[in-house]
Structure 1
Amino acid sequence: MARPRHAAPPAPETPAQVLADLLAVQRQRFAALDPRLPEAPAPPPGDIVVVGTPPQRVAGVITHHSWPAGSGPLLWSAAQVSELHPVVGAAGHAPLHALLEAWRTRMLPAVLREPDSAATVTWPSRDVVATRVFLDHGLVPLAVLAVRPPGEVVAPPPDPDVEVRRASGDDLEICVRLAMEELAYSSQVGGSVVRADAEAVKRTVMRDRLGRGEPTWIALRRGRPVGMMECGRAEAVPGTWLAGLLPEGAWGYVNCASVTSSERGGGVGHRLVATALAELDAPRSDLPTRGTYLYYNPPNPLSSVFWPRAGYRPLWTLWEVRPAGGLRSV
């Protein structure tokens, strides 16, 4: 009599398979959280971490970024950044806590020792389950990516003393001065950093932007520059970094908005926004026009009020702790 054959045990799942399975559930989670979110993106290549067992299993990918001296991102970022890209399916508090604990143990020792470092994670703003976990581990909401659908901005009251016009290459020094004023203020209420070479970096970036004709507006009161709005256009299409953050389509964005301190609260910012959005919202390609986006700092007592009043609402929150060694266990 033949002996019964026993099926071979199934091969253990690879970390990549675990990520794929959890990502499918995470896409359902994102769709239920916020209809304006794009489909949850697959994480970038990096160090894969898997924690727990089903149904409490979660995963994530850890990436590391290092910004060289003199680069533009150093004006808003730490030099060494460890970033977590969670893939957590429908997990609740406990599995998320375990994932953040694992993140800290997998950080590069050099990052944990570096004072100019940060641990960051970007996550949908409406996921309050994750919010509680991030706060418990010492992360703070330093920035949000906010979006606004196309639509007319209510015009500010008339002010014959204020003129808004497009900036040109001749306005470089004016734009640099206003950008530096914004940087100095933002460094007190967000992640911006006034580094020793900040003005030189701003000048180079601004010269390039104006040279490319990217939309930038200046506000003048009786001929004196009192505000600036530096903007641009982008497309969220498959294969771009923006496609992981925004629905597919054509977008305008506000890169820097600055009103000199003596003019804040006087309607200059409102006038700049009304002028800029009238152009940025105009259809310009075969892609659907989605609106505009920008980043602002929730701890900023000015921008956290101004931008929601202009119709922007948070889509993604950028959680951060500096230095990275400040990421704590609970």
Structure 2
Amino acid sequence: MATAQDLVRTQCARFATVDPQLPATYPVPEGEPIVAHTRDGSPVAGIVARTVNPPGSMPTLWQTEVVLELFPLVGAHPREGMDALLHAWRTWLAERGAPERDSSCVVTWPSRDVPATRALLDHGFVPLSCLAVRRPTIETRLTKLSGTVKVRRAGPADLDAVVELTLTELEYAALVGASVYRPDAPRLKRTAAHMRLHSSDPVWLAERDGTPVAVAECGWVDTGGSPGSHRLHPGMWAYVNCLSVHEQVRGTGVGRQLMTWVHDEFARAGVLGSFLHYNPPNPLSSVFWPRQGYRPLWTTWEVRPATALR
């Protein structure tokens, strides 16, 4: 009989054929196990990890307060195995209960694993977020824009401008993705921006005629030694935490010029690549980021509330 280790090995071997950018390992966290079988009797399994985000905490801006995340171990059966496992998860939820408000069921799965996609859709999941990656390149061409647009590194004195722009992005993202604009969002964003502007993480501003019109909050991650960064090949990566362009200048090329500058800086730093999260339902970012060279690696599927799992 197949063990969990057997399922992981088979699954990782299959992932390597689905997408060579996927890491060689798959995370199996601590949690509650679920076991199921496909129609032909093949065993599959999964681990359910429960996360509670307290009110007023930063993760509540992009997650529900109660998150039930399933880590599937479906071996060589992406569609039938995922379907069987999600049926078992529904029974698991019925037995243990879940909040009817501010809760979610979450599965993060390789974006290119199309057979599993069908099973997730059939059970009511929606693709709310993608982890997308880009290879480092230096682009010498900067778009010529009307007016004077300059890019510079932001500092502590730019706190108000950074907070205003990031709140604008959050407000829009809450309409088209996993983000939630909560009452304490201004306080949380201000605290986060203050810490970022006083750290080594780079924040860049684009200014038109001296007025900030776009911001890129970025950072560095060593995926070889950073917990929770197991979805990328090990090494030093750059990430884009937030890109926000003022509504009045969207579509004029400011965001493209800012990211050209940012990507040049990433490449000069010698990183393996850069990554970010964007929302597939977002009509702006779902077009903008692929044009900047990003492509989906992992897709996060959600059902909100958790009780809506089919």
Q: Deviations over 1:284-330 (max 9, x none)?
A: 5xxxx3110000000000000000000000000000011111111xx
Which one of 308, 312, 326 corresponds to residue 290 of structure 2?
Answer: 308
Which one of 9, 14, 26 corresponds to residue 41 of structure 1?
Answer: 26
Q: Which runs of 5+ in 1 are unaligned?
A: 1-12
Q: Does 1:174 align with 2:161?
A: yes
CA distance in 1 between counterparts of 2:226 and 2:220 reads 17
Which one of 141, 149, 173 corresponds to residue 162 of structure 1?
Answer: 149
TM-score by length of structure 1 reads 0.89
How far apart are 1:152 and its partner, in Å? 2.1
How far apart are 1:103 and its partner, in Å? 1.2
Q: Deviations over 1:79-131 (max 9, x none)?
A: 00100000110014333211001112223877623310010000000001110
Aligned length: 308
Identity between Structure 1 and Structure 2 (%)? 47
Asked if structure 2 preserves the Cα contact closer than 8 Å seen for 1:215 and 1:232, the reply is yes
Q: Does 1:115 align with 2:101?
A: yes
CA distance in 2 between counterparts of 1:110 and 1:71 reads 25
Q: Which runs of 5+ in 2 are unaligned?
A: none
Asked if structure 1 preserves the Cα contact closer than 8 Å seen for 2:79 and 2:117, the reply is no
Aligned to 1:321: 303
Q: Does 1:197 align with 2:184?
A: yes
How far apart are 1:283 and its partner, in Å? 3.6
Asked if structure 2 preserves the Cα contact closer than 8 Å seen for 1:26 and 1:87, the reply is yes
2:304 is aligned with what amino acid?
R
Q: CA RMSD in A?
A: 1.7
1:119 is aligned with what amino acid?
C
Cα pair distance change 1:81/1:152, threshold 3 Å? same
2:261 is aligned with what amino acid?
T
Aligned to 2:246: 260
Q: Does 1:207 align with 2:194?
A: yes
Select between 209-218 and 198-207 the one with higher mean Cα deviation: 209-218
CA distance in 2 between counterparts of 1:109 and 1:48 reads 14
Q: Deviations over 1:34-64 (max 9, x none)?
A: 0000013241011111212786211100010
Cα pair distance change 1:37/1:116, threshold 3 Å? same
CA distance in 1 between counterparts of 2:21 and 2:50 reads 28
Which one of 219, 225, 247 corresponds to residue 212 of structure 2?
Answer: 225
Asked if structure 2 preserves the Cα contact closer than 8 Å seen for 1:229 and 1:257, the reply is yes
Asked if structure 1 preserves the Cα contact closer than 8 Å seen for 2:61 and 2:185, the reply is yes
CA distance in 1 between counterparts of 2:105 and 2:279 reads 17
Select between 63-72 and 92-101 the one with higher mean Cα deviation: 92-101
How far apart are 1:154 and its partner, in Å? 5.8
Cα pair distance change 1:265/1:154, threshold 3 Å? farther
Question: Looking at CA atoms only, which structure, 1 or 2, has the larger radius of gyration?
Answer: 1
- Pairing 1:18-57 to 2, within 5 Å after superposition: 18-52=3-37, 56-57=42-43
Aligned to 1:69: 55
1:140 is aligned with what amino acid?
V
